[in-house]
Amino acid sequence: MDEPLLRELTPAVIGVLVRRGADFATAEDAVQEALLAATLTWPGEPPSDPKGWLVTVAWRKFLDGRRAEAARRGREQRAETEPPPGPAETTDDTLQLFFLCAHPSLTPASAVALTLRAVGGLTTRQIAQAYLVPEATMAQRISRAKRTVSHVRFGAAGDLATVRRVLYLIFNEGYTGDVDLAAEAIRLTRQLSSMTGNAETAGLLALMLLHHARRPARTRPDGSLVPLAEQDRSRWDTRLIAEGVTILQTALARDKIGEFQAQAAIAALHADAPRAVETDWVQIVSWYDELLRLTGSPVVQLNRAVAIGEADGAAAGLAALATVDPTLPRRTAAAAYLHEKAGDLPAAAQLYAEAARSAPNLPERHHLTRQAARIRQTLRG
Amino acid sequence: MAKYLLLKHYRGAPEAVNSIPMDRWTPQEVQDHIQYMNDFAARLESSGEWVDGQALSPEGTFVRYDGEGRPPVTDGPFAETKDLIAGWMVIDVDSYERAVALAGELSAAPGAGGKPIHEWLELRPFLTEPPTVTE
């Protein structure tokens, strides 16, 4: 059973149905039913033209649905004629679906869910598992999202920036359930990037590849976190790094800088260092300067302070940290790190313990608690 | 089968026997504790008694309705005296005795010096659906 192929064909098949006059919400449901039918029948009888098969079955499901609805209303059944296929603008249709599913009228959670289903071809159950919510809740979220975009004309101009934001959210969500959301986000971003040839979208793809490359080294078998400096870099995926760097360089050469390209440049500089001590922190700081100029984000300010601590010493890092909003998540953890680096172990232990209490997830809490414990052990001698 | 909630408190429960806070343990003791908790959850899953487990941030706020057209009133962070829940496990077990035995096991998680924490856990039965057969 070729699930990747099915998922890849999903948006194109929805596109065909919409071009034949189906509304998006009904077309999407019909295609999901066709995907289900494919998983049942393809293992026994693989079709010679998978896309044609899906279009035929989805269209039949669509007509069945419409007939059932017409019958419910007690009207005459419509003639069952299959119109000729519309123009084969697959790439365009898929791009239109990206725009529709990330439409600015949707909340981020709804846009993520709708994108994963209509563009990604995932089932509602898979999406629900990935986001740890009941399937009925996710089904409701998706159908509300479809209603929200029902007024949007298929083919209306879309905003690439909102699509990128949605794909970034999917990538960043983590790895729960049996669907690898990071890999799925990479697949969709790759597709988007090849369709648009846009520098920032390429930057986002490079960023994802460079971070995904570190995944084997980022957690221990027991699920605990390994900080960047302590990761076994021989376990980084060099193929993904090479691809990410190449994509990034091509994007940067176009001289249309954006935040994802800047973030990818920082990730690439980490990837370039065979050992943590060989990291080019001076260049990293200059990329953080660029990123701060582009975004003005306090999170960037925080990361920049840590990078300054590496480039110019802990005192400079602490000075940069002093200007960061004290209520920002993870600021205390950064302060702990810089205090330890400055040799102030009692303050570092205190701050690590405090940071552990406000950590946003258990692996981070455990990591920070261990740091506090490690320093206190040193202090006890 | 009956469902029980095992509640763990940041504060508000009686003092544990081995109550030295976690950041004052050795790194190995922290590691052993986390391992014990993971193993415990894995064992419940494999025995078919695990339902759910979540951890909560110590940050929190009281919120209440303040009348038509007004934003809700918030009060917080929680006062130092307030009972503060740290997290829970939901188990689905055959008997109250089994629930007590499991809570006891969880309370034996190792802490400072590798010795059991003897932490007090709150065990609360769920209210159930009404039964089909009533007489």
Which of A18, A52, A75 marks a domain boundary? A75
Q: Where are the alpha helices (DSSP H) in A149-280?
A: 160-172, 181-196, 199-212, 215-218, 238-253, 259-272
Lowest mean pLDDT among A43-57, A72-86, B19-33: A72-86
Q: Which of A14, A44, A75 is the last residue of a domain?
A: A75
Judge whether A381 lies within some domain.
Answer: yes
Residue-level pLDDT at B80: 77
Q: Rounded to an integer, what is the distance from CA A230 to the centroid of its chain?
A: 25
pLDDT (0 to 100) of residue B1: 84
Residue A123: per-residue pLDDT: 93
Question: What is the structure's pLDDT at A191?
Answer: 94
User: A359 and A375 share a domain?
Assistant: yes
| Residue B88 is assigned to a structural domain of this protein | yes
Co-location of A308 and A354 in the same domain: no
Region A281-301 average pLDDT: 97
Give chain A's contact residues with B (Cβ, < 8 Å): 222-224, 349, 352-353, 356-358, 360, 362, 365-366, 369-370, 372-374, 376-377
Nearest chain A alpha carbon to B31 = A370
Q: What pLDDT does B130 receive? A: 84
The full 3-state SS of A262-310, as one line of letters, equals HHHHHHHHHHHCCCHHHCCHHHHHHHHHHHHHHHCCHHHHHHHHHHHHH
pLDDT band at A301 (very low <50, low <70, confident <90, very high): very high
Provide the pLDDT confidence category of residue A314 given band limits of 50, 70 and 90: very high
pLDDT confidence band for A310 (50 / 70 / 90): very high
Give the total number of structural domains in chain A. Answer: 3
Which pLDDT tens digit goes with each residue over A70-94? 777 765 444 444 555 554 555 688 8
Using an 8 Å CB-CB cutoff, list chain A residues near B23.
Answer: 349, 352-353, 356, 369, 372-373, 376
Hey, which of A94-98, B58-62, B100-104 has the most confident mean pLDDT?
Answer: B100-104
| CB-CB under 8 Å, A373 with B57 | no
- Cβ atoms of A154 and A18 closer than 8 Å: yes
Distance CA A293, CA A290 (A): 5
Burial category of A353 from C-beta neighbours within 10 Å (exposed 0-12, middle 13-18, buried 19 and up): buried
Q: Does residue A11 share a domain with residue A52?
A: yes
Q: Mind listing the pLDDT tens digit for each residue in A198-232? A: 999 999 999 999 999 999 999 988 888 899 999 99
C-alpha angle A308-A313-A315 in degrees, rounded to nearest 5 = 95
- Total domains present in chain B: 1
Tokens of A78: 């419509």
Rounded to an integer, what distance in angstroms lies between the CA atom of residue B2 and that of residue A31?
41
Give the tokens for residue A22: 């189906």
Within a domain: residue A208?
A: no
Specify if B43 maps to a domain.
yes
Q: Is residue B130 part of a domain?
A: no
Residue A183 lies in a domain: no
In this structure, the answer to whether residues A308 and A364 fall within a common structural domain is no
Residue at B61 is within a domain: yes
> What pLDDT is attached to residue A176?
61
The span from the CA of A215 to the CA of A235, in Å, is 9
Average pLDDT over residues A142-151: 94
Q: What is the pLDDT of residue A156?
A: 79
Whether B116 is in a domain gets the answer yes
| Closest approach of A223 to chain B, Cα-based (Å) | 10
pLDDT recorded at residue B127: 94
Query: Is the pLDDT reported for residue B72 higher than 60?
Result: yes
CATH at B14: 3.30.70.1060
- Does residue B68 lie in a domain region? yes
Task: Domain of residue A307: give its range.
Answer: 288-328
**Which positions in chain B touch A224 (Cβ < 8 Å)?**
34
Contact residues for A110 (Cβ-Cβ < 8 A; gap 6+): A141, A142, A144, A145, A148
B59 and A CB contact within 8 Å: yes
Mean pLDDT (chain A) is 91
Mean per-residue pLDDT, A39-44: 89
Q: What is the pLDDT of residue A174?
A: 64
The residue range of the domain holding B47 is 2-125
Could you tell me if A364 and A300 lie in one domain?
A: no
Q: Is residue B58 part of a domain?
A: yes
- Assembly ipTM: 0.87
Highest mean pLDDT among A119-128, A284-293, B11-20: A284-293
> Does residue B134 lie within any of the structural domains?
no
